[in-house]
Amino acid sequence: MFKSLFNKVFGTPANIPTPSLTTSNSNENTPSADLAQNQDPLFGVKKGGKEIAAKLFTAMSAEKAIHLESLLSALGALAGYACQISVREAYVVQQGRPEQEVFIVVKSQQNGVTYFFGDLLNKPLAESRYSVWSLASGAVQKLGLQQLIDLHDIFRHVTDTLGGSEFGLPRIEIEHRAKETPINYVSFLWPKLFPLAQAYCKSPSDLPVVFGVAIQEILFASKGLIEPQLALRIVMESAVPMSKIYIPEALHG
C-alpha cells in the first residue's frame, strides 16, 4: 500500500540505475558498536538518517529504478520543514512561548498564508555546524563540486515570491524537475517519517540533522548519476521555502 501510494503520486520513475545504499551495520549490537555510540553523540542521529534514506529510497523505487530528482526534492523539503518543527517543539511546545516571540511572522496580503522567518529558524537551516546547508554542501564538495550555489539567491527568491504562485516551486530545468512539489512531499511524507525521525532524536534540535544525514546518504549513493551542483540546487530550492510554512494537515496525514 505504501509503495503503491508513492508510485501513484510520483508517476513512473526515470530509468536510472539503482545506486547501492548501505542502511545498516551488521555489527551494530557488538561491543565495538556500543563504544562508538558512547564516543559519538550523533551516533543515533546518523543511524536515523540512514534508516530514513533507505525507507524513502525503497518507497520511491520501482522496477530497480529511482527518479533521483524527486528523491532529493522530497528529502530537501522534509529537511527544511524539520527545521521549523524543531524550533516549534523547542520553544512553542516545550517552553510555551507564542509564535510571535519565536518567529518573525509574516502574513501575505495576496493569499492570506502565514510564513515564518527568524534567526532561530535560520540556524538549523543554514547557519549551524550541522545545518541542512552544511551537511548537503559538505557532501557535494566531497563529491568534487568546486563552486557552491548562491544560497542567498534562494532566500531572496523565497522572500520575493511569498503569497504568489511561484512560492515553493524549485527553479530547476524542466528535464530535472521532481514529480511533485515540495509542499506535496511534506504533506504526504511527513506523517510517515516524523515518528521515525523522532525516535532517534534526543532533543528537537536533532530533527533537522536526521534529515540532513539522510540527504548526505542519498548524495553519496548517487555519485556519478547526477551533477553535484544540480543535486544541491534541488535540495536547497526545496528546503528553504518549506522551512517557512506550517502545514497542520501534515501532522495528521
Enter the pTM of the model.
0.85
The answer to whether residues 77 and 69 touch, using CB atoms and an 8 Å cutoff, is no
Higher pLDDT, 12 or 97: 97
Chain segment 189-213, per-residue pLDDT in tens = 999 999 999 999 999 999 999 999 9
Chain segment 154-198, per-residue pLDDT in tens = 999 999 999 999 999 999 999 999 999 999 999 999 999 999 999
Chain segment 211-224, per-residue pLDDT in tens = 999 999 999 999 99
Band of residue 63 on the pLDDT scale cut at 50, 70, 90: low
- Calculate mean pLDDT across residues 37-48: 81
* Mean pLDDT, rounded, of the chain: 86
Rounded to a whole number of angstroms, the distance between the first and last alpha carbons of the chain is 15
Query: Does pLDDT of 37 surpass 80?
Result: no
Nine-digit cell string for 8? 501513484
In sequence order, which residues have a C-beta less than 8 Å from that of residue 84 and are 6 or more positions away? 116, 121, 243, 244, 245, 246
* pLDDT (0 to 100) of residue 61: 84
Assign 140 to helix, strand or coil. helix
* pLDDT (0 to 100) of residue 80: 98
The answer to whether residues 52 and 189 touch, using CB atoms and an 8 Å cutoff, is no
Nine-digit cell string for 71? 528523491
The answer to whether residues 145 and 158 touch, using CB atoms and an 8 Å cutoff, is no
- Name the region of 115 (left: φ>0; alpha: ψ -120 to 50; beta: rest): beta
Q: Count of H helices and E strands in the chain?
A: 11, 4
The answer to whether residues 131 and 123 touch, using CB atoms and an 8 Å cutoff, is yes
* Angstrom distance (rounded) from CA 228 to CA 214: 16
24-33, 52-61, 136-145: least confident range: 24-33
Nine-digit cell string for 36? 562508538
Chain segment 87-124, per-residue pLDDT in tens = 999 999 999 999 999 999 999 988 889 999 999 999 99
Question: Which residue has 526515470 as its cell numbers?
Answer: 14
* pLDDT (0 to 100) of residue 251: 61
Band of residue 231 on the pLDDT scale cut at 50, 70, 90: very high
8-state DSSP, 245: B
* pLDDT (0 to 100) of residue 34: 52
| Percent of the chain predicted with pLDDT > 70 | 81
Assign 25 to helix, strand or coil. coil
